[in-house]
Amino acid sequence: MTTIDTGRTLVADGALRARAEAVVPGGVYGHLRVTADRGMPPSYPQFFARGSGARLWDVDGNEYVDLMCAFGPMVAGYANPVVDAAARAQLALGDALTGPGEKYVEYAERLVGTVAHADWAMFAKNGTDATSMSVVIARAATGRTKLLKAEKAYHGANPWFTPSTAGVVGSDRADIVEFDYDDLASLERAAASVEGDVAAIVVTPFRHDGFVDQHFPSAEFARGVRALADRTGAALILDEVRTTFRVDLAGAWERFGVRPDLTAMSKALANGHALSAVVGVDSLREAAASIFVTGSFWMAGVPFAAAIATLDWMVQTDGLTRMLDAGQVLRDGLQAQASAHGLGVVQTGPTSMPFLRFEDEPRLETAIAFTDAAARRGVLVHPWHNMFVSAAHTPEDIATVLERTDEAFAEVARSR
Amino acid sequence: MTTIDTGRTLVADGALRARAEAVVPGGVYGHLRVTADRGMPPSYPQFFARGSGARLWDVDGNEYVDLMCAFGPMVAGYANPVVDAAARAQLALGDALTGPGEKYVEYAERLVGTVAHADWAMFAKNGTDATSMSVVIARAATGRTKLLKAEKAYHGANPWFTPSTAGVVGSDRADIVEFDYDDLASLERAAASVEGDVAAIVVTPFRHDGFVDQHFPSAEFARGVRALADRTGAALILDEVRTTFRVDLAGAWERFGVRPDLTAMSKALANGHALSAVVGVDSLREAAASIFVTGSFWMAGVPFAAAIATLDWMVQTDGLTRMLDAGQVLRDGLQAQASAHGLGVVQTGPTSMPFLRFEDEPRLETAIAFTDAAARRGVLVHPWHNMFVSAAHTPEDIATVLERTDEAFAEVARSR
């Protein structure tokens, strides 16, 4: 790999990695871990000092235009002044109190008014809480046990779903039956294998598994899932944790005319403040009220205040359209640049959640080299996870990205 | 029940309850739900507007001295200026970014330096995350499946542990074996019933189940749990989610000279900001690094900044001693008042987590009437859940509580 001296150093970053390694197993865990065994290049920073708009600064003071958006939570810009003013005002009044406040109710009303199928909402902290609660609600409603999910689909970090099986035991997944995404015959076979006992079908609105091209299912598949759920009396759970506010505020399968029974939401809801939600239809209201779910911080006021401000800001600034447009300019620019440098790339997914891979490279060498070259020039991309564009990515931010990626592609092309 | 006109109204509260009922199943769920079917009297507010120190104001403007502390998270006072200044400063820099910041590392170092057995720390959002992660770590380390827990003990709101079984299926609890708390023979029998397959024993430092007297186990039991874990190679998980910072900062079983392998912490860690932690011993470090756990907001900076400030404040102000002392004054005062009014009460648990019940009343009529009479006079207590004292409860706050509870006891005595 050819490298260039960009004058950037990661000295403070290295020191923090060493300190972290001493007091946290593996240093950093989960999706934010930046190590070679996860395909991340050495110039990619692990620790960040601050953010503003679409810009991030690492702990060594290097500036980046960020195309990861904290892996989704950032949708209105880091330190968005409107959202954070709302958070600060609520913090002065109180966050976790001995009961909820008015903003909890107001936000439930707002989500019910935003998501097309939603008659009610419940809130938690993690996306995993939302997907797990959805399954429990479906089981309470149906009195059944089995959950159908797509093979390799990630629906959260509890033992039901994790990609790693370390510490996972047989009972954790005993009631899960897998099908192939966007393959209605496979789904029908899965349902038939546990006929009469399907509590729920959980599905993401499009396939956004790591390493592989993102893929929107056919309308036939989406409608077939709905029809199967209706026929069998199972609940259809749409896992929009990652796609929240990045495809369609009313619901990602509105394009197909398909409405789920339950939607799990999180990530972008409150622009980074910890919040997740389950929204559902009236027929599941009683079941939802019957389950026991709670968390010490689930009714805290600050995330609701931030979430209301985020939703307002997204609607008032037409944030989703601007985000999709910015992503389209980015995609078109990347495609032209790669082509000009003789590199074959495949870009998939909505333009708000770009995934770029280099053709014919199962071991990701070029993707890693490109990620490295981009990071050294102040652009954060990812070699195998979808990226995220936000409504804070201005035309100037995208232009800056494209200036830098052009150089990064050139470097990668030279080294081949 | 005799009632008095205290001039308090819950008009705005009632309006919010109606609005909540329309858009959230059951209106409010979990431990913060205030309804008659949970034994809560009609004068108890459901919705709060703000907090300061040990005081809360409901949405109708009524002021209370709060003995619930948001069910534990509040330990340094609502809107503690030191903690919230740290939170605001971090918010201006950034909360959820594309990687953690220095405060994540600093706080891990601080916890390792605070909890006696801790060689490392991991962080999440919910107490449930921490107990569940602990079990997964134990299973990864041992390659075994079974979890021993005390009957009726609450360790979080996932399907493994919830008190309600709505939506819970057989596989959720297939690998859990129960024993009687503080009964070593029962624990030994539970272990023997799944000999060779015990991954972990999970236990709270004292019994703090709802409705019943709180109970510290014998030193013999605590040491017996440790010995059984050592003999069988199981991990000992101490669930300190509720007791965090309210018994002993170094660990609640330090009094017995017993150190667990893993401790689950949450609630008071960041004075209300969403944070939980697992701390563990070196021998489990590799297993902890091997499991896949993550959450979109787990590395966010604001809760770490708040947690560091909370721990500093607790240490610098000797907060735990002050809290235990304030609770002792409260306990002594309540006992004398009840006695003077001819009411038999039993108070149990550490004085930082008081539980008060009236003798010989399985249906809690007097407890509910007392909760009602106290609420109407501006004191929040609870008829069947342990209460919480904080380090922000000043001698004046406790004196105010006792003035009001004396009247409340008198009202209850008159109505008998």
Query: Which tokens in the block code for residue A297?
Result: 């911080």
**Final residue of a domain: which of A272, A301, A316?**
A316
- Residue B76, in any domain of the structure: no
CB B157 within 8 A of CB B30: yes
- Residue A229, in any domain of the structure: yes
Label residue B164 by pLDDT band (50, 70, 90): confident
Label residue B6 by pLDDT band (50, 70, 90): low
**Are both A61 and A91 inside the same structural domain?**
no
A243 vs A258: CA distance, rounded Å? 16
pLDDT of residue B8: 82
- Cβ distance A293 to B102 less than 8 Å, yes or no, reads no
- Cβ distance A158 to B291 less than 8 Å, yes or no, reads no
**Are both A288 and A396 inside the same structural domain?**
no
A258 vs A240: CA distance, rounded Å? 14
- Cβ distance B166 to A96 less than 8 Å, yes or no, reads no
Tally the C-alpha atoms within 13 A of residue B222's C-alpha that lie toward its C-beta: 20
- Strand ranges (DSSP E) for B241-317? 262-265, 276-280
Question: A114 - beta bridge partners?
Answer: none
**What's the gap in Å between the CA of A340 and the closest CA on chain B?**
30
A96 vs B306: CA distance, rounded Å? 13
Dump pLDDT digits (tens) for A88-115. 999 999 999 999 999 999 999 999 999 9
ipTM exceeding 0.90? yes
Instruction: Count the domains in chain B.
Output: 2
The CATH number for A347's domain is 3.90.1150.10
SS3 B63: strand
A377 vs A369: CA distance, rounded Å? 12
Query: Which tokens in the block code for residue A63?
Result: 């500036």
H or E segment at A355? strand A355-358
**Are both B382 and B240 inside the same structural domain?**
no
User: Strands A198-203, A262-265: parallel, antiparallel or unpaired by DSSP?
Assistant: unpaired
B84 touching A, CB under 8 A?
A: yes
Dump pLDDT digits (tens) for A8-45. 889 999 999 999 999 999 999 999 999 999 999 999 99
- Strand ranges (DSSP E) for B266-396? 276-280, 345-348, 355-358, 379-380
A84 vs A69: CA distance, rounded Å? 16
- Residue A2, in any domain of the structure: no
User: Strands A355-358, A379-380: parallel, antiparallel or unpaired by DSSP?
Assistant: unpaired
Contacts of A25 in chain B (CB under 8 A): 120, 122, 280, 285-286, 288-289
Dump pLDDT digits (tens) for B19-61. 999 999 999 999 999 999 999 999 999 999 999 999 999 999 9
**Are both A184 and A305 inside the same structural domain?**
yes
Place of tokens 């470090």: B285
**Are both A198 and A336 inside the same structural domain?**
no
Query: Residue A332 region, left (φ>0) first, then alpha (ψ -120 to 50), else beta?
Result: alpha
What angle is formed at CA A85 by the lines to CA A79 and CA A90, rounded to 5 degrees? 120
**What's the gap in Å between the CA of B136 and the closest CA on chain A?**
5
B218 vs A77: CA distance, rounded Å? 54
B383 vs B207: CA distance, rounded Å? 17
Q: Which residue of B has its CA nearest to A22?
A: B120
Tell me the pLDDT of chain B averaged across its residues: 96
Candidates B296, B310, B393, partner chain A, best to mutate (most A CBs within 10 A): B296
SS3 A346: strand
Query: Which tokens in the block code for residue B320?
Result: 């735990």
pLDDT of residue B163: 83
H or E segment at B240? strand B235-240
pLDDT of residue A68: 98
pLDDT of residue B250: 98
Q: Which residue of A has its CA nearest to B48?
A: A101
Residues 6+ away with beta carbon under 8 Å from A230: none
Query: Which member of A93, A102, A296 has the closest CB to residue B71?
Result: A296
Residue range of the domain that includes A20:
11-66+318-415
Candidates B23, B58, B78, B102, partner chain A, best to mutate (most A CBs within 10 A): B23
Contacts of A169 in chain B (CB under 8 A): 139, 145, 175
pLDDT of residue B111: 98
**What's the gap in Å between the CA of B71 and the closest CA on chain A?**
6
Buried b (16+ CB within 10 A) or exposed e, A356-385: bbbeeeeebbbbbbbbbbbbbbbbbbbbbb
CB neighbours of residue B395 within 10 Å: 11
pLDDT of residue B387: 98
CB A270 within 8 A of CB A303: yes
Orientation of helix B81-93 relative to helix B301-316, angle to 10°: 150
Place of tokens 């360790």: B155
A39 vs A48: CA distance, rounded Å? 19
- Cβ distance A29 to B293 less than 8 Å, yes or no, reads yes
Edge-first strand order for the sheet with B48-52 is: B48-52, B55-58, B63-66, B379-380
- Residue B409, in any domain of the structure: yes
**Are both B278 and B362 inside the same structural domain?**
no
**Are both B329 and B297 inside the same structural domain?**
no
User: CA distances (Å), B332 to each of A118, A224, B33, B69, B353, in order?
Assistant: 51, 66, 30, 20, 14
Burial of B414 (0-12, 13-18, 19+ CB in 10 A): exposed
pLDDT of residue B162: 83
CB B341 within 8 A of CB B412: yes
pLDDT of residue B5: 53
A173 vs A207: CA distance, rounded Å? 21
**With 70 as the cut, is the pLDDT of residue A5 above it?**
no
pLDDT of residue A6: 63
Label residue A161 by pLDDT band (50, 70, 90): confident
- Cβ distance A289 to B29 less than 8 Å, yes or no, reads yes
- Cβ distance B128 to A295 less than 8 Å, yes or no, reads yes
CB neighbours of residue B331 within 10 Å: 18
Nearest to A57 by CA among B402, B253, B102, B38: B102
Under 8 Å CB pairs connecting chains A and B tally to 351
The CATH number for B131's domain is 3.40.640.10
- Residue A6, in any domain of the structure: no
Place of tokens 């060689």: B119
- Residue A71, in any domain of the structure: no
- Cβ distance A168 to B30 less than 8 Å, yes or no, reads no
**Are both A402 and A304 inside the same structural domain?**
no
B72 touching A, CB under 8 A?
A: yes
**With 70 as the cut, is the pLDDT of residue B3 above it?**
no
Query: Which member of B49, B73, B121 has the closest CB to residue A96?
Result: B73
Query: Which tokens in the block code for residue A379?
Result: 């652009």
CB neighbours of residue B230 within 10 Å: 11
Query: Which tokens in the block code for residue A41?
Result: 């290049």
**With 50 as the cut, is the pLDDT of residue A2 above it?**
no
**Are both B143 and B195 inside the same structural domain?**
yes
**What's the gap in Å between the CA of A348 and the closest CA on chain B?**
22
CB B404 within 8 A of CB B378: yes
**Are both B38 and B140 inside the same structural domain?**
no
**What's the gap in Å between the CA of A153 and the closest CA on chain B?**
15
Query: Which member of B52, B122, B292 has the closest CB to residue A164?
Result: B292
**Are both B175 and B56 inside the same structural domain?**
no
- Cβ distance A158 to B158 less than 8 Å, yes or no, reads yes
Tell me the pLDDT of chain A averaged across its residues: 96
Place of tokens 């009460």: B345
Residues 239-298 of chain B with CB under 8 A from chain A are 241, 266-267, 272-274, 280, 285-298
Candidates B13, B173, B292, partner chain A, best to mutate (most A CBs within 10 A): B292
**Final residue of a domain: which of A295, A316, A337?**
A316
**What's the gap in Å between the CA of B76 and the closest CA on chain A?**
12
B70 touching A, CB under 8 A?
A: yes
pLDDT of residue A160: 84
- Residue B1, in any domain of the structure: no
What is the average pLDDT across A124-140? 98
Candidates B97, B120, B283, B386, partner chain A, best to mutate (most A CBs within 10 A): B97
Contacts of A135 in chain B (CB under 8 A): 167
- Cβ distance B93 to A51 less than 8 Å, yes or no, reads yes
**What's the gap in Å between the CA of B141 and the closest CA on chain A?**
7
Buried b (16+ CB within 10 A) or exposed e, B147-170: bbbbeebbbbbbbbbbeeebbbbe
**With 60 as the cut, is the pLDDT of residue A303 above it?**
yes
B36 touching A, CB under 8 A?
A: no
Dump pLDDT digits (tens) for B285-336. 999 999 999 999 999 999 999 999 999 999 999 999 999 999 999 999 999 9
Read off the DSSP letter of residue B55. E
**Final residue of a domain: which of B259, B294, B316?**
B316
Label residue A3 by pLDDT band (50, 70, 90): very low
Nearest to B209 by CA among B281, B260, B154: B154
- Residue B73, in any domain of the structure: no
A81 vs A411: CA distance, rounded Å? 37
CB B292 within 8 A of CB A32: no
Question: A123 - beta bridge partners?
Answer: A277
Among A161-170, A367-376, B93-102, B177-186, the range scoring the smallest mean pLDDT is A161-170
**Are both A310 and A255 inside the same structural domain?**
yes
Dump pLDDT digits (tens) for A217-241. 999 999 999 999 999 999 999 999 9
